[in-house]
Structure 1
Amino acid sequence: MSSVKYSTRVNSFALGKGKKLPTGNEPILELIALAGTVPGLTSLELNYPEHFKHDSLEDIKEAIEKAGLDVPALQLRWPSPRFSNGAFTNADAEIRAEAVQMVTEAIDLCASFGADHVLLWPAHDGYEYPLQMDYTKSWVWMVQGLQAVADHNPAIRVSIEYKPADPRGRTILNTTGAVMNLISDTNRANVGVTLDFGHLLMARENPAQSAAMCLQAGKLFGLQLNDSHGVADDGLMVGSIHLAETIELAYYLIREGYAGTYYFDTDPVRENPVEECGMNIVRMGAIIEMARLLVRNHPNLPTGRALDSAPILWETVMGGKWNTTVSV
Structure 2
Amino acid sequence: MYKQAIISNFLGEIRNRFMVYQGPRDLDGKFESAKQIKGLSGLELAYPQDFADRAHLDALLKKYGYEAAALNFRCRRNDKWLRGSFTSSHSEDVDEVVQEMKTCIDCAHEMGVRYITTCPLNEGHDYLFEMDYSVAYDNIVRAFREIGDYAAERAPEIRICIEYKYSEPRTRCFIAGAGEALALCQEVDRENIGVNLDIGHALQAGERPAQSAAMLHKAGKLFYVHVNDNDRIGDWDMIPGSINFWDFVEFFYYLRRIGYSGWLTYDVYPKENPAPEVFNSSFQAVSKLIEIAGRIDSAKMDQLMYERNPVAVMNYLYTLL
Q: Would the TM-score normalized by the shorter structure come out above 0.5? A: yes
Q: 1: CA distance between counterparts of 2:119 and 2:317? A: 34
Partner of 2:8: 10
Q: 1:17 to 1:217 in 2, by over 3 A?
A: closer
Query: Which position in structure 1 is the counterpart of 2:94?
Result: 96
Q: Check the 8 A contact 2:14/2:271 in 1, yes or no.
A: yes
2-structure distance, mates of 1:239, 1:297:
25
Rounded Cα–Cα distance in structure 2 between residues aligned with 1:233 and 1:299 = 31
- Give the corresponding residue for 1:42: 41
Asked whether the 8 Å contact 1:255–1:295 carries over to 2, the reply is no
**Structure 2 stretches lacking a partner, 5+ long:** none
Question: Counterpart in 2 of 1:326?
Answer: none
1:171 counterpart residue number: 173
Match of 2:55 among 39, 47, 58: 58
Out of 126, 146, 162, which is 2:164 matched to? 162
How far is the alpha carbon of 1:270 from its aligned partner? 1.3
Cα distance between partner residues in 1 of 2:25 and 2:5: 20
Of stretches 104-113 and 241-250 in structure 1, the one that deviates more from structure 2 is 104-113
Match of 2:31 in 1: 32
| Identity %, equivalent residues | 29
Q: Secondary structure at the match of 1:192?
A: strand
The 1:203/1:187 distance shift into structure 2, 3 A limit, reads same
Q: Secondary structure at the match of 2:67?
A: coil
TM-score (norm 2): 0.92
From 289, 314, 317, the equivalent of 2:318 is 314
Q: Which residue of 1 aligns with 2:126?
A: 128
Q: 1:176 to 1:38 in 2, by over 3 A?
A: same
Contact 1:48 1:75 in 2 (8 A): yes
- The separation in 2 between residues aligned to 1:219 and 1:17, in whole angstroms, is 32
Deviation at 1:29, TM superposition (A): 2.0
Map of 1:69 onto structure 2: 66
Give the equivalent residue in structure 2 for 1:117.
115
Aligned to 2:103: 105
User: In structure 2, what residue type is equivalent to 1:153?
Assistant: A
- Poorly superposed stretches of 4+, deviation over 2 Å: 15-23, 295-299
Flag the 1:22–1:171 CA change in 2: closer, same or farther, 3 A: farther
Counterpart of 2:121 in 1: which secondary structure?
coil
Unaligned runs of 5+ in 1: 319-328
Q: For residues 303-326 of structure 1, what are the alpha-carbon distances to aligned partners after superposition, in whole Å with 9 as ceiling and x for unaligned?
A: 32101211122122x2xxxxxxxx
Q: CA deviation at 1:17?
A: 11
Deviation at 1:13, TM superposition (A): 1.6
**Alpha-carbon distance, 1:146 to partner:** 0.4
Aligned equivalents of 2:262 and 2:309: distance in 1? 31
| Aligned pair partner of 2:293 in 291, 294, 319 | 291
Rounded to whole Å, the distance in 2 between the matches of 1:105 and 1:295 is: 46
Mapped contact 2:253–2:294 kept (Cα < 8 A): yes
Q: Deviation of residue 123 (structure 1)? A: 1.3
Tell me the equivalent position of 1:245. 247
Which secondary structure does the structure 1 equivalent of 2:57 belong to? helix
TM-score with structure 1 length normalisation? 0.90
